[in-house]
Every structure is written in C-alpha cells, then in structure tokens.
Chain A
Amino acid sequence: MSKNNELVDDLVAKLKRRQLVGSSTVAQATLKLLIVVISKSNWTTCNQLLTLVKSVGQRLIQANPTELAVGNIIRRVLHVIREEFRDADVNASQNQPEFQSAPLTTSSSMYNLLGETGSTPDDSNVQYTSSLRSNIIQEIREIKDELENIYDNIKNQASLQIHSNEIIMTIGRSKTVEEFLKMAAVKRKFQVLVAESAPSYSGQEMALELSKAGVETTVIPDSAVFAVMSRVNKVILGTHAVLANGGLVAISGTHMMAAAAKHHSIPVVVCTGLYKLSPLYPYDEDSFNVTFNPDSVLGFEEGDLIEKVTVTNPYYDYVSPDFVNLFITNQGGHPPSYLYRLIVENYDPNDHTFDL
C-alpha cells in the first residue's frame, strides 16, 4: 500500500512541477498508475474500490487541474468499474429468476431515465470472485490500447475529410493533426498553411514536420490568418481538451483562427481523441487556462520595463462550441451538439465531481 502511495506521490509531484505535460502523456501516466493501484491494493466491494480510485484521482486532479485528461481517464476507469460490478451483479442474479429485470447496460441511458432505476451496484456488499479483478484490469487495459491506437483511428478518417487540391489551415503543433495530415498526404495532394503560433512558435515545428513528410507547407504569421482565410477550404485544429458543451481549450491563437473561419464561413474541424473529452463545463473563459512565464513575450533582461508593465502569457484559448463544425474522434465524426451523448456513454454522472 505504501508502495502505491509512493507512486501516487511521484506522479503528483511530476504534475505539480509540470515535468509531465500534454494530454496524451498525462493520460497514459494516469492509466498506468491506476492499473498498479487497482491490482495491488486490497478491496472487496464496489464502494471500496470506487473510493480508492476517487481518492487517488482527487489528488492527481488537484496537482494540476488544467490537465483535464487526468480527470477524464479516472472517470473512464470509474465507469468501467461500475460496469463490471453491475455485470457481475447481473450474472449473480441470473441464478435467481426474479432479478431478470435488472438494467443490462448503462450505455442506454435513456432506458435508465425512463425505466426503473433498479439496484445500483454501489449499494451491494456482495463478495465477488477473483475473476472480477482480472476483468476490471482487462477492461482498463482496453482503454490503454485505445489510447495507444488513438492516432490510427483518427487518421484513418483523413481521406474522408481532405480532398485533392484543397488548402488546409492549422495552428500550433498537435500530434493528432500532424498524423491526420500526413495520412491524407499519402493519397491526396493538398496545401497546408500553418500559423506560427507565437510566442511558443510550435507552428513552426509543425510546419517542419509536415514538410519533411512531403506535404506542401507554408508558415504564416498569426497576424496574417484573417487575410488568407478567404482562400482556405478547411481549418483543421488540434486541442488540449474538449469541454462538456463542445468548447475547446486549445493553444492560444485558436480562437482568433476559428473566429476568422466563421467570418468566412469556412468549416472548422477538430481532431481529438475521446480521452480529451471532459464532462466539466467552462463557467468562465479563464477556468482551464494556464498563464506561462512572460519571458517569451517580454524578455526578463528588460529590467526597467518589467517593473512598469504587467505581462501575461496565457497558453490556451477558450473556443466556444459555435465556432466548431465537426469533431473527428477515434469513434468517428460528431457535431458539437452530439458531445453530450459521448459524455453519457463514457462517464458515469456520479463521477463528474470527486467529492468523497
């Protein structure tokens, strides 16, 4: 148990010090930790296990609340645990015919709302067989596989979205978008404009990677986005997180690009893995933002100046859902209005907040 605590402390410290950043890295680290915690600790009932995972999750989320993927993975795992216990319940009750009416799955949430609520597994104190533990681990490993194959699932939809001789615009460096465009370039010939994304200039790296893969790429300054938008056929964006309303937390500059696209009625497509989809709702625009070191905006050497001015360097933008036309996830393409469905399918409503 203390070994587990050590592992949790280690991940918490890494998240706090920002030694681990980026949705995909933190998601994988969280999942790895949870597998260890669940397989190594003692639990007998559903409630015990849920409490255990929640307490670890709470610490991880507090360590860096802006890495929403951590919370998403924990909710996914909680959901899996609930499902498995429910299945075990159902299996147990099959021996007793009167429990036939118990809910079969929770994925049909409409059924839950309208039908009988039945007995929830949280209340059960039934002792479970050891196969349950391995089943849960198995399910979590499936999430892990999903995370590892996420780019394949997304990029396979590339040829549906990108057509020959199109001009695509993007911003910043997103691994998902990079894979997506590279895949499209295998079959089709098109042109990509990349906004350089000051002050991190990750757009420049992105352009370099794309041009190495043989995609015809042009870097443009962020200020030119609006000017060239009229010639663009499609805007393809990466994102740090997708919120419950379909809004994005994405690299700064994204909002400007999305607004320019809306002005010119250019479709905006967001490529994202489902692990970035969070059931949290943005109550104000700054809620999931990170303000970085102002060094890249105004050098620390400018001693006289930095005393007189305040420089803020927000890393993310909030992009409201009405700027986005389509989400391409590892489960296919969805409009923003459909996201609530995905949230219900992937997370249990009891897990949206982690109050123990």
Chain B
Amino acid sequence: MKIHTIVSQECMSVGDAMRELDAKQLIDTDFILVTGDVVSNMKLDRVLEEHRARRQADKSAIMTMVLKKASPLHRSRAVGDGSLFVLDQASKECLHYQPVKAFKSTRQDRRLTMNMEVFDKHPEVQIRNDLIDCQVDICSVEVPALFTENFDYQDIRADFVHGILTSDLLGKTIHFHEVSDIYAARVRSTQMYDAISKDIISRWTFPMVPDSNLQAGDCYEFRRGLVYKEKSVVLSRTSVVEDKVVIGANTQIAEMSVLSNCVIGKNCVIGKNVKIDSAYIWDNVTIKDNCIVKQCIIADNAVLEEGVTVSKGCLISFNVTIGANTTVPAYSRLTTLAEDADEDSDAELVSEPAVVGATGRGRSFKEAEGSDDSDEEIDPKNKLVNRLAYDMTALHLEDKAQEDSASEFESETSDLEEEEVNPAEELDREIAQTLERAFKDGHTVDIAALELNTLRMASNSNFHEMRKRIVPSVLKNIDVTAKAGSGKTVKEILVRWGPLIGRMIHDEADQIDGLFILQRACATLHNDFTSAKAIFAPALRYFYDEDILEEDAILEWYHDEKSNQGTEIEQKLRGSAAPMIAFLEQSDDEDSDEEDEDEDDE
C-alpha cells in the first residue's frame, strides 16, 4: 500500500478538498472518506460490499454513511452538533438530513422541513435523533464531481447530504449503514476528546486500546481497574493510582499523590501530594508539590509550580508556566503565543500575572474576532458550546448548573427573536426600490406587477402586506398642486399606476382591505384634510369607475365601524365619501326596489 499526502493551502473545508481532488482527477473508483480525527475499530469490508452491491443495482446510489446507534444524551455525541436523519430501514436509504444545533435561535432551527413526496415513495419512514454520525463515508466517484458542480458546498453533511437529498434535479440517493457492535466517533471538540478518551480507556474501542501497543515503541500493560501503565513508570510507594488511569513512559509520580480518571503522557514529573482528577496531561509536563488539577487539558512542556490549583475546563497550552500558589480560574485558556503574533513577527509575549501568577509565563487566549467569515451565520452561542464543549461536560456532571445555563440561554434566545423584524423591513425597502425604479424608468404596469409578485413570493408575504406598501408609495407621487400635463396630478398618476394597485386586489375582502389602506394612506400623507381629500375622493371615484372597487365593498367599508375610528382626518375622509355613498345606495335602491329604506343613512 502506498500513502500519498496531498497538501493544499487553500483548503478550508471538506468541500474545498473534494473540489481539489476532482480537479486533480486522483480518484477513479469508489473511495472511503474519513476525517483524520475519527477513532474506530470498524472493519469496513461489510459496508464496502453493501455499497458495491447497491451500486451494481442502482447507479444513483452515490454514498453510504456509517451511523451508530446511541442514546440521545450519550457522552460520545458532540453537544451542539447533533443530526436528524430521516431513514427508510427497508431500502437502507437516507431520505433527509438536518443538522441540529444546541441552541435553536431561529424558528427554522426548531423545525424539520421535508418534502412530502418522501411519504409517497416510502411507506415506512424513521426520523432518528439517536445516531452518532461516525463521519465514515463510502463515496462513489461522482461525489467529488458533485462538489465541483455545487461550488458552494462546504460541509459534507449540512451542505452536501442535505443538498443532494433536497435536490429534485440530481436524482441521486444516499444510503446508510447502521452499526451497533463496533465503535466509531470523531474528535471534533475538546468535549469529544474527553468522551472518546474515556471510551478508549473503558475499552469500547477494543482492540484499539493502549495495551495493544499499536504505536511502535509503546509498551503499555493493562491492570485491573482500567489502569494502563508503561513499563518504565516510577510510582512511589505511597502514591495512589485509582481507576481509569493511563501513565506514559518514564513518568515519575512522587509520594502521597493521587491519580484518578486521568491520562498522563511521557516523561512527566509529578510532585508530592498532588491530586489529579479527570485531567489530560500531555508529554514532558512538570507538576510540583501540592498541586490540584481537575478536568483540564495541559499540553506539552507546561510547568505548574508548587501549590497551583487548576480548576475545571482549563486549557493550558504548550510551554506555559504557572507561578507558585496560583489558582487558575475555571474555563481559562492559557497560551504563550504573543498577542497578534504572526508566524514570522517576533512580538514579545506579555505575561498576565493575574492568571499565571507572579513568576508565571503565559497569557489568556482571546479568539480573534471575525477570523473566519464563512462561519458568520453560526449562532454565536452555538459556537460557544463547541468551543467550550469541555465545560459542557463539566456542567453535565452537575445537572443543575447545566439547567441554569440552558434556561439562561433560552431567555436570551427569545429576546433575540423579538428583535428580529428584519424580513418586514427588508420587504419595505425592496418594494420601495422596485416602485422607485418603476416610476423613474417608466416601466409598464405588467412589469412592475411581475417584479412585485416575485418579491411577494420570495419573502413569503401576502397581498395585504403588498397593498399596505404599494398604495402609499403610489399616492406619494401625487402632487396636489401640480398642473395638468406635468404627469403628477391625481388623475394622471391614478390612470398610470392605478391598475398596479388593481393587480393586488382580487376579491371583495381585498377591496375592503384596500379601502382601509387607501383611507389611512391619504390621511398619513397629508396633514391637512383638504389635500388628503383631494387625493382620496378622486381615487375612490377612479377605482369605482375602473371596477377595481365594487359598490358592495365600498358600502361595506363605509358601514364598518373601524372606518369611523382612527385619526380625525381619517374620519373626515370617510365623511367626504358620504355623497358617493348616497349615490351608490340610491342606485342600489333603484336596482332592487324591494330593499328597505336604509336604517343608517347618514
């Protein structure tokens, strides 16, 4: 077997990598796609066979995903990175995919939208939220090509799988292979790092366990209580190694120290009376006497001086030194990289004594803001969950704390939703722009109506909303004082653009609604009654003459109590319509003699 490494500077996502592969035409058969951080003891032959058999029968089956069953709150499922799968067990086909975020801030996040046709084709459908996505895929040659065709696909799941399954045009299908007796999971966050490490120590990944010594040079021995120890470890007589501990080569542990649930790398020196619990300590770390280390990750060459306490959720990076008797606050992230340091600039590291102690070396790490623009749409809270994922497990141990934080997030999210009036504003702006263009460039009514209708559909709005916006915009163009021929008189504007309003009015309910809008628009456009009336009355007349408004609707509007409420001008406008009403009622009477004398003729 030959291993080729392909280095590409521009690759920022799976999508980029696949496009690169397609461009280089390196793959000409079915292939297995895994990320480098997958931990698994799976034999792929069965899945491969299944995939090949399926390909023989049906060329459109382009991908087989490996899924593993687990309970919804399983520790080996990434918090805030779940997935909903809609599956057909009979044909092993995946019908729909949707990523699930931890904090669902928009309404879209909380809903599963799928094509109804799925139910026509598949009599039995499972909607599953209990699957670990192993991130092991068997792909056909078409997959890289599809990524090239759809150049905006980045993520293999959220973009590619979702895209393929929702596309009617491609007609490709994606299948799944559900496994139960093997282990597969992906280290995609520090929280998953913790969970998968625990799984390895508990031997779920057997035979991929430390004592198999798969890495050349390792010589781990397995002891009762899930303890893995290299041969060259020096344990002092009074030190205590409790359950679930891994200790690397040449590490020394001094008197009275207690280790539990932890992983300690090679060449570490642990002092006297140190307590280490649920921590991951990498190679060449020095921890001096009386330290307490809990639920954290300490990277290579870090030094903890005497009496340091590292609280839960901390990430201590390479070469950091923490001064004597310092308490590192929970969830700190410490680094020795100088601030704003590029790779070649040698900016000086400014240590922060507040976090690393007086003699310490290091500073707390702040993520550069807006560093990755592709992630812009991601809810900041969801990013936080991923980033502080390790904290989430810490919180998970204390259920109450988690609930508190969850409700906190909940209340914040609801605030956020109320503020979110953007779509309406956006529609306003779009309509105003469209109309402005139409007025200026002298579009025909047909074109303007088409554009507006497109807008309506795009924003999923209704005709009422459209009328509410179009009527005032049209009326705004009327100049009451303008002379005939200027193109701005009431009559000219109405003749020119009235039909556009007519396009937005269909049945009687629309007409009544339109009248209310007209009344309000006139009243808000002009503060004085005379100019308002100068628009309203001709408009009413015009719409009646053009049969856009029918007499029933006008009468209905007139008699509706709401028309007589509102501002003074609005009321007066209604009053100004009285002569017309009288005329209408009269003609009505003439039409149908048997009708009674009106009880409300005012």
Which of A's residues lie within 8 Å of B, judged by CB? 16-18, 62-64, 286, 291-296, 299-304, 306-307, 310-313
Contacts and interface: CB of A to CB of B under 8 A. Distances in A.
A21 B373 CA distance: 51
A312 B226 contact: yes
Given A310-B244, A312-B226, A304 B203 contact: no
A304 B71 contact: yes
A291 B203 contact: yes
A303 B69 contact: no
B74 interface: yes
B70 A304 contact: no
Nearest to A307: B75
A17 B207 contact: yes
Interface in B41-55: 41
B202 A303 contact: no
A299 B70 CA distance: 9
Interface string B50-78: 00000000000000000011111111110
B586 interface: no
B358 to A, nearest CB: 40
Max chain B CB contacts within 10 Å: which of A294, A302, A303, A313?
A: A303
A62 B204 contact: no
Contacts of A310: 202, 225-226, 243-244
Given A301-B69, A303-B75, A295 B213 contact: no
B121 interface: no
Nearest to B181: A295
Contacts of A16: 207, 212-214
A294 B225 CA distance: 14
30 contacts: A16-B207, A16-B214, A18-B207, A62-B213, A62-B219, A63-B213, A291-B206, A291-B222, A293-B41, A293-B204, A293-B205, A293-B206, A294-B202, A294-B203, A295-B181, A299-B180, A300-B68, A300-B70, A300-B183, A301-B69, A301-B130, A302-B71, A303-B73, A303-B74, A303-B77, A304-B71, A306-B75, A306-B204, A311-B202, A312-B203
A313 B77 CA distance: 24
Given A286-B223, A301-B180, A293 B203 contact: yes
Contacts of B203: 291-294, 312-313
A313 B69 CA distance: 21
B207 A303 contact: no
Contacts of A293: 41, 183, 203-206
Interface in B16-37: none
A295 B69 CA distance: 12
B83 to A, nearest CB: 16
Max chain A CB contacts within 10 Å: which of B68, B207, B244?
A: B207
A286 B202 contact: no
Contacts of B72: 303
Contacts of B68: 300
B2 interface: no
Given A301-B69, A302-B71, 4 more contacts: A16-B214, A17-B207, A293-B41, A301-B74
B400 interface: no
Interface of B: 41, 68-77, 130, 180-181, 183, 198, 202-207, 212-214, 219, 222-226, 243-244
A310 B71 CA distance: 18
A293 B202 CA distance: 8
Contacts of B207: 16-18
Given A16-B214, A292-B203, A303 B226 contact: no
A301 B70 contact: yes
B45 to A, nearest CB: 12
A307 B75 CA distance: 7
Contacts of A18: 207, 212
A311 B202 CA distance: 8
Nearest to A314: B224
B268 to A, nearest CB: 24
A310 B226 CA distance: 9
A310 B244 CA distance: 9
Given A17-B214, A300-B183, A294 B204 contact: yes
Nearest to B71: A303
Given A17-B207, A62-B213, A295-B204, A304 B73 contact: yes
Contacts of A300: 68, 70, 180, 183, 204
Contacts of A296: 181
Contacts of A302: 71
A286 B70 CA distance: 32
A295 B198 CA distance: 14
Nearest to B41: A293
Contacts of B77: 303
Contacts of B244: 310
Contacts of A294: 202-204
Contacts of B181: 295-296
B153 to A, nearest CB: 32
A63 B207 CA distance: 12
Nearest to A9: B216
A255 B493 CA distance: 101
A281 B209 CA distance: 25
Contacts of A311: 202
A303 B70 contact: yes
B487 to A, nearest CB: 73
Q: Which 9 A-B pairs have the closest CB atoms?
A: A303-B74, A303-B71, A293-B206, A18-B207, A301-B69, A301-B70, A307-B75, A16-B214, A16-B212
A183 B313 CA distance: 64
Contacts of A62: 213, 219
Contacts of B71: 301-304
B474 to A, nearest CB: 62
A186 B194 CA distance: 58
Max chain A CB contacts within 10 Å: which of B76, B202, B222, B226?
A: B202
A104 to B, nearest CB: 42
Contacts of A312: 203, 224, 226
Contacts of A301: 69-71, 74, 130, 180
A299 B183 CA distance: 11
Contacts of B219: 62
A300 B70 CA distance: 7
Nearest to B130: A301
Contacts of B212: 16-18, 64
Nearest to B132: A300
Contacts of B183: 293, 300
Contact of B206 (A64, A292, A304): A292
A64 B207 CA distance: 11
Nearest to A313: B203
Nearest to B208: A17
Contacts of B224: 286, 312
A37 B224 CA distance: 38
Contacts of A307: 75, 198
A196 B130 CA distance: 32
Nearest to B222: A291
Contacts of A304: 71, 73
Contacts of A295: 181, 204
A296 B183 CA distance: 13
Nearest to B72: A303
A350 B221 CA distance: 25
Contacts of B130: 301
A6 B351 CA distance: 52
Nearest to B244: A310
A17 to B, nearest CB: 6
A62 B130 CA distance: 40
Contacts of A303: 70-77
Max chain A CB contacts within 10 Å: which of B41, B224, B243?
A: B224
A319 B73 CA distance: 41
